[in-house]
Structure 1
C-alpha cells in the first residue's frame, strides 16, 4: 500500500529518544508537511551532557504542544492520518516511553495503526526520504551514542560491517569540547573553533587507521587530546583562543581521517556484495560536520561511489525521519500492537556480535 485512494500515505512521526522533542507529518510522496523540533540544550548544558530524568520531564512538557503545532502546520486532523509512528528505541527509556505512550494514545483514539520505529533505522532510511535512494546502499551512522558502518539491504534488513569498540564519535566531540570549556553539545563549537585553527599543529593519533576491518575506536584519541590540553595548561597557563582553535582543528582532522580510513574499508567490502551502483550514505548528528562531509565526498569520488548526505536539519534527531520510517513500514504492512514494549537497546543487525554502541549491550 503506497496510497489511500488517490492521495499518498500520511503519517505523524514522534521522536523523544534523547534530548530533542520532535513531531512531524510526512506523506508517501516524500513531502514534509510539518517538522517541529524543540531542543533541550539549555536544560542539559549545566550538566555537560544529557540527564535522562531531565530529558524525560522536558519531553512531557513539550510534546503535546509540538504535536498540535505539527498537525496545524500540516493542515490535518488525526482522522486524516494513516498511521502514527514513534521512536520505540534505542534511547533513553524515560523519553522513549513518553513518545510511545503518546503515539499509542493518538492511534487508539483515532483508530489508526501504530508504528514502532527503530530510531537508528529512521536515520538509515532518511536518504530515501530526501533522495529517493534505492536499496542497497552503504551507511555510515555517526552520532553521540552510535558509530557504525552497515549495508542497508531493505527495511529491517541490515548487515553490520563495523562499529566502535569504545566511544562513539559524537561522544568524543562532546568530551573534547568539555575539556576546552566549549559547552554542550560539543560538535558545533568544536567545528566552529576548528575553522580558525591549524590542523597540523598537534600530531594526534589516527585510531585504527591502516588496520584490517571496519571497526572504529576514539577512546585513545580522546585521551591524547586530554594529555595535550593538560600539557598546554601546565606549560603556559590557560589556553589561548589560538591554542583552543588548533586543538579543535587537530582533533577534527584526526577523527575525520580515521573515519575516512574505516569508510574506505567498508566501501571495499560493500563492493564485494554490490559490484556496481549503490551509494555511501552518512547519517546521524555527526554527519552534519562539514569537514567530515568533505573528507567522505573526496573518498566517494576516489572510489567511484555516489555519496548522499541528508540536509543538516535531517541529520540530527527529528520527527520527519520517524514519520518516513513509519511510512516505509506501513507500505509493507508492518504495523505494531499497542502492547509493544520500548527497547532501550535495539540493534539494526541482531546477528552481529554484541557491541555497546550498536544498539545492544556488549
Structure 2
C-alpha cells in the first residue's frame, strides 16, 4: 500500500501554521469513487447545506453494469458544474470554504483520480486544508448526520462492493471484524436480478418483488465457521441459478417472486444475525446500518426488529444518505479536520485502501 494511504501521517505543507476556525467552518466534499459525481457543503461536520448527486445509472444500464472508463469520463464532464451547483444551493462562495474533503479510496482508480485532482486543485487555489477520506468511513459516518453515535458501536456495511462488520471502538477508531470472501451483497443482488431478468441496478427490483411475494423458495444460509463474522454469497447466487435451471429443465416457468423472497431472506438472515452476534460479543451500545443496500426495505425492517428485541439502539440514514454521496465524506473528514490531520498535496487515489489504517 502506498505510504500516502494513511492521510493522518502529516499535515498539508501549505497550511501547516495556519490558524483554523473553531466554529462555523465549512467543508466542501467531493465523492467520485464509482458512478456518482457528488459535491456537498457541510457546516461543522453535521449541517448539510447542499449535497448534489449526479447519477450515471442511465448511462451504464445499457451495459448491465458500471464501465470504469465511461464513469471516469462522466466525472470529468460533470465536476465543475456539480461544484458550482453545490455552492449555489448552499448559498456560499469558494472563498467561504475552510477545507476540502475528497474520497481517496477505495473505488475505481480512474473515477477516484478525477475527484482527487479536483480537490487538490481547490485546496491549493484556496490555500485551505485537504483531507483524503476513506469511502467506507463516509458510509459509516453518514449516520452522524442524523444522530449521535454511541461508542463502542457496530457498523453493518452493505453496499455494491462491500459487505463488512466494523467495530467502532471510539470516534474514528475502526476495527474490521468481518468481511465478504467473494461477492458483496450488492453484487449478489445485481447478479440475481440479472438472472430474474431485471435491469441494472437490480437490487431495488429484487427487494420490491420479494416484498410482494406470497411464497418463498427456501435457499441455503452461508454461516461459514461458527466463530466467523465473514460473509460468502457466491453459493447463494449459484443456488438461485440452479433453481431457475431446474424449473426450465422440467418445462416449468420459474417462480421469480418466490425465488426473490428466498434469496432476500437468506441474505438478511445472515447479515443481521452476524451483526447482532457481534454487537453482543463486543458490548456495542449502538448498531449502525450503512451503505447503498441499507435502503433495502426488508433489511431495514428485519434489523430494526432484532435491535428492538435486544434493546440495542439503531441508527439508519435516510435513503439519500445511504447511496454514494459527498455529505457522508464531509462527515467522516470532519473527524480529521478537528484533529488537524490533513493530507499533503501529493495525495494519491487508492483503489484499495485500509479502513483501519485510515483511523484517526
Normalization by structure 1: what TM-score? Answer: 0.90
Which stretches in structure 2 are left out of the alignment for 5+ residues? 1-17
1:121: which partner in 2?
Answer: 137
1:224: which partner in 2?
Answer: 239
The question of 1:132 aligning with 2:148 is answered yes
| Deviation, structure 1 residue 156 | 4.2
Distance in structure 1 (CA, Å) of the matches to 2:245 and 2:218: 15
What does the per-residue CA deviation read over 1:184-238, in whole Å, with 9 as the maximum and x for residues that have no partner?
112111111112213x531101111783221111111010001111222333465
Aligned equivalent of 1:4, options 6, 21, 31: 21
Aligned equivalent of 1:246, options 252, 258, 280: 258
- Asked whether the equivalents of residues 185 and 233 of structure 2 are also in contact (C-alpha less than 8 Å), the reply is yes
2:7: which partner in 1?
Answer: none
Larger mean CA deviation between 342-351 and 314-323 belongs to 342-351
Distance in structure 2 (CA, Å) of the matches to 1:350 and 1:77: 34
Larger mean CA deviation between 336-345 and 29-38 belongs to 29-38
- Asked whether the equivalents of residues 141 and 283 of structure 1 are also in contact (C-alpha less than 8 Å), the reply is yes
Which stretches in structure 1 are left out of the alignment for 5+ residues? 352-362
Aligned equivalent of 1:310, options 313, 317, 340: 317
Distance in structure 2 (CA, Å) of the matches to 1:29 and 1:260: 29
Distance in structure 1 (CA, Å) of the matches to 2:357 and 2:179: 13
Aligned equivalent of 2:54, options 21, 38, 56: 38
| Deviation, structure 1 residue 43 | 1.4
What does the per-residue CA deviation read over 1:157-191, in whole Å, with 9 as the maximum and x for residues that have no partner?
21112111211111100100011110111211111
| Deviation, structure 1 residue 81 | 0.7
Aligned equivalent of 1:298, options 305, 316, 330: 305
The question of 1:193 aligning with 2:209 is answered yes
**Within-5 A mapping of 1:134-173:** 134-173=150-189
- Asked whether the equivalents of residues 196 and 246 of structure 1 are also in contact (C-alpha less than 8 Å), the reply is no
Instruction: Report the aligned-residue RMSD.
Output: 2.0
| Deviation, structure 1 residue 155 | 4.7
Aligned equivalent of 1:48, options 44, 52, 64: 64
The question of 1:178 aligning with 2:194 is answered yes
What does the per-residue CA deviation read over 1:16-43, in whole Å, with 9 as the maximum and x for residues that have no partner?
0011110110111621100110111111
SS in 1 for 2:282: helix
Distance in structure 1 (CA, Å) of the matches to 2:225 and 2:319: 30
- Asked whether the equivalents of residues 83 and 326 of structure 1 are also in contact (C-alpha less than 8 Å), the reply is no
Distance in structure 1 (CA, Å) of the matches to 2:99 and 2:247: 56
Distance in structure 2 (CA, Å) of the matches to 1:91 and 1:258: 25
1:263: which partner in 2?
Answer: 275
Distance in structure 1 (CA, Å) of the matches to 2:28 and 2:111: 18
How many pairs does the alignment contain?
341
Structure with the bigger RCO (C-alpha within 8 Å, sep 6+) is 2
**Within-5 A mapping of 1:99-114:** 99-114=115-130
